[in-house]
Structures are given as structure tokens and as C-alpha cells.
Amino acid sequence: MACYIASTNNRFYAALESTFGMARPWTAADRCSGLRLKARQTAVIPQRKDKTGTRTYRGFESRPRRNTDFEFLSYVNGAGAPGSAPEHSAFFEAALGRTPLVYQGGVISAAADRSLTLGTGAALVVGQAIAYQDEIRFVTSLLDGGQVLLNAPFSGTLAAGGGIGGTVTYLPSGELKSLTLGDYWDPAGAVQRLLVGAAVDELSMEMNGSFHQFACKGPAKDLIDSITFEAGMAGVTEFPVEPVVEPGAGAPIPGHIGQIWIGPEPSRLYTISDLVLRVKNNILMRSNEFGSYVPQCFSAGRREVTVQFSLYERDDEISKMIYQASRTRTPLSLMIQLGDTSGQLCSIWLQGFVPQVPQFDDGDGQLSWKFDSSQAQGGTDDEISIAFA
């Protein structure tokens, strides 16, 4: 028997649920790396106001309602191979809602700046990503003759007959999906935990640290453990058994590597010092109904996609363009690529956001502009795309 349990002896699993709050047996493919999983459950104890003739609390003897929430933090890992889903795929799908779009790649028929004609161009949709060499770009419109217009040009020279790489793209949807999260420890006799009905209320991604990171947090239906488990909880007869433990496959994308394109006619920006992207789903749990101890389902409110960033000011055209857009409330497109190696690429595209007027920060040796949370906009479920290649 160990005298304590090391915090490194921890493994995480994540799987999408077909029915809210109903767990399913794990597979080895459900394992995902992470920095931490915080899970908190509190009992909602009503306040007794009856006169008991004493100041002593007499207690609450019935089963109270339970509120559960979670926060999962991890590095942004590459997919390993173009056209493959990353190990954290379930989190991104739960946060945005739509089943990911898989593009297996194609061949260039013709190319001119941001316009491409592909043999499989008809299979692409607006907001979907394609890859070329070590870069990702997004389709902004579908043109006649199988042409697609991209959000920014590729750095490499495109020519007929060249190959386009595969991608997996996550897009928003009106409906969201719930997760089952597993929290397993060594030794086997330690308390193992299961979060069911976990809904991603907020997805955040931070760039330009040691490694790029993302976090998911939100409410959940219930927190179940291996010690107090009873048959029937979460729709299973026994606590889900962990698959055979195998080494994790993911590798984090270095935090200082990537590129950013911004503007109506996108230009590459080199002066970003930090950036945080947030997707807020404004989730409401159906948790206050008569006869229920835990939430029965959830619904998503208006989606809020915001970006907060800082940059070093220069007397160049791109800095002036961003400042002018903030003053005139003009939407700008924004693409952020993390990584520079195929199989280790993640990219985010906002088709339009209005930057807040920047704060001038002269506390350091260089003048910095700090842009507070600026909200993205779009038509219908199209304000953000996240892709891996």
C-alpha cells in the first residue's frame, strides 16, 4: 500500500454521449492527455426557518439537489497525421456542437493567389479547412467551376498537380452535445471518478506561452465514484472499467510557433504578444424541476465568441488598419495558426470580429496595444472554425 497517491498517476478519458447523462464503456481511443480535471459537487441544502427552541442546527435529513461543475485543462496537441482527429476531439465537438468535417485531401487543378480549383472542391463547405505543406487555410466562399476562395494565401508556390492535405474541421451548431469524463488513478484501489452529462459552457484557448493551452468548463449532471457506485447509476450496471493503459499519443504544439492573418484583405501580423480566444455557450441546466435531484437536460443560449490580444505598435499599414477598424467599428477577419509542422497544426478562423479601441500600455520598453474582449459575428452558426491538420 502506497503512503500517498502521486498526482502524476492520473489518466483522463472523454467520450460524447448519445443520451444526456448516460455513460458508455471506455475504449482505448477515448483516452486523452491533460494537465488537470477539476470536478466539484455541492449539495443544495435549504435553510430551515422553523422555530426549534434552540440555536442549534437540526440538520436536513432528505436527499438534497446536487450541483456539479468541472474544468478540464490541457495543452493543444496535434492530430499526429493530416485528416485525423486530435485526441481532444470530443471536447471541441462538445463545445461547438457540429459533427467534425473530415477532408481527405485533393489535387490542385488550378491556382491563383487565394483561389484554388480542386478535384474534390465540391465536397468542401464555407468555413472548412484545407492544408498545404505546413499551413492551414479556410474556405471563405465557393466559386463557379469548382473554385474555392481561401481566407489567406499559402506561403508556398501552388501549381496544378500539387497535393492538398487532409484536415478535420469543427464548426458551430445550434445544438450541443454532452460528455462523459473519466478520472482514473493508480493504484487501482484509489477512488476513480466519472462525470456524466458534462456540458462545455466555455472553451478558451491561450497562445504564446511555453505551450498553447485550452480549457473547457461547465456544468454536469452528476459526479459518480467507484466507492459509492450503485448499479443503475448513469445507465450502467457496474463502474466503467478502464481500458488497458497505453502511453498517450499526443504531443503539445510549442507555444511560440505559428502565424496570424488579419484584415479584410488579410495580411500576416508578426507583432502579437499574447492572445486568448473564448467561446461562451451560456448554458442553462434543467435542474429545478419537482421530483429531480440532478439536472435532466441542458440548453445553450446565445453563443459569444471573443478574442482578447495585445500587440506591439508599429508605424506600418497593418497597425493603422487595425486601429482604424477599432474606431470605425469595422469587422476584420482573423486566422490564427498554431504550429508549423504537418500533423502538429491547429488553426482558428473568425470570419469577422470588431476590435475594441486599444489601451496604450507604455510600461515596458516598447509601446503595446491591449485589445479587450472583442466579439466575433457572423450569419448563422458560422462565426468560428477550428481545424487540425
pLDDT of residue 249: 59
Q: Does one domain contain both 340 and 206?
A: yes
Structural domain that includes position 322? 10-42+65-98+173-239+252-388
User: Which CATH number do you get for residue 128?
Assistant: 2.40.30
Please tell me the number of Cα atoms within 13 Å of 151 on its side-chain side: 31
Number of compact structural domains in the chain: 2
Q: Give, for all 389 residues of the chain, the pLDDT tens digit.
A: 567 888 888 999 999 999 999 998 899 899 999 999 999 999 888 888 888 888 888 887 778 889 999 999 999 998 888 889 999 999 999 999 999 999 998 888 888 888 888 875 458 999 999 999 899 999 999 887 778 999 999 988 888 888 899 999 999 999 999 999 999 998 888 999 999 999 999 999 998 778 999 999 999 999 999 999 999 999 999 999 998 876 665 689 998 889 999 998 899 999 999 999 999 999 999 988 887 888 999 999 999 999 999 999 999 999 999 999 999 999 999 999 999 999 999 999 999 999 999 999 988 889 999 999 999 999 999 999 999 99
Which of 377, 389, 382 is CA-nearest to residue 127?
Answer: 382
Do the domain assignments include residue 37?
Answer: yes
Which of 39, 102, 92 is CA-nearest to residue 279?
Answer: 92
Indicate the residue among 113, 141, 165 that finishes a domain: 165
Q: Does one domain contain both 296 and 231?
A: yes
| CB neighbour list of residue 243: distance below 8 Å, 6 or more residues apart | 26, 27, 28, 30, 31
Q: Does one domain contain both 335 and 306?
A: yes
| CB neighbour list of residue 34: distance below 8 Å, 6 or more residues apart | 12, 72, 73, 74
The H or E element that residue 322 is part of is: helix 317-328
Q: What gap in Å lies between CA 354 and CA 332, rounded to an integer?
A: 6
Indicate the residue among 165, 188, 217 that finishes a domain: 165
Q: Does one domain contain both 266 and 309?
A: yes
Cα distances (angstroms) measured from residue 24 to each of 87, 181, 193, 338: 18, 11, 14, 33
Q: Does one domain contain both 364 and 224?
A: yes
Exposed e or buried b for every residue in 355-376, given b needs 16+ CB within 10 A? bbebeeeeeeeeebbebebbbb
Sheet holding 101-103, edge to edge: 101-103, 167-170, 385-388, 346-353, 332-338, 258-262, 267-269
Q: Does one domain contain both 179 and 35?
A: yes
Do the domain assignments include residue 270?
Answer: yes
pTM of the model: 0.93
Matching residue, cell 477539476 = 38
CA dihedral of residues 252, 70, 334, 152 (deg, nearest 10) = 50
Q: Does one domain contain both 336 and 229?
A: yes
Q: Does one domain contain both 268 and 125?
A: no
What single-letter amino acid sits at 384?
A: I
Q: Does one domain contain both 197 and 216?
A: yes
Indicate the residue among 121, 146, 165 that finishes a domain: 165
Q: Does one domain contain both 203 and 324?
A: yes
Residues 44, 292 contacting (CB under 8 angstroms): no
Query: pLDDT of 210-268, one tens digit each?
Result: 899 999 999 999 999 999 999 999 999 999 999 887 666 568 999 888 999 999 889 99
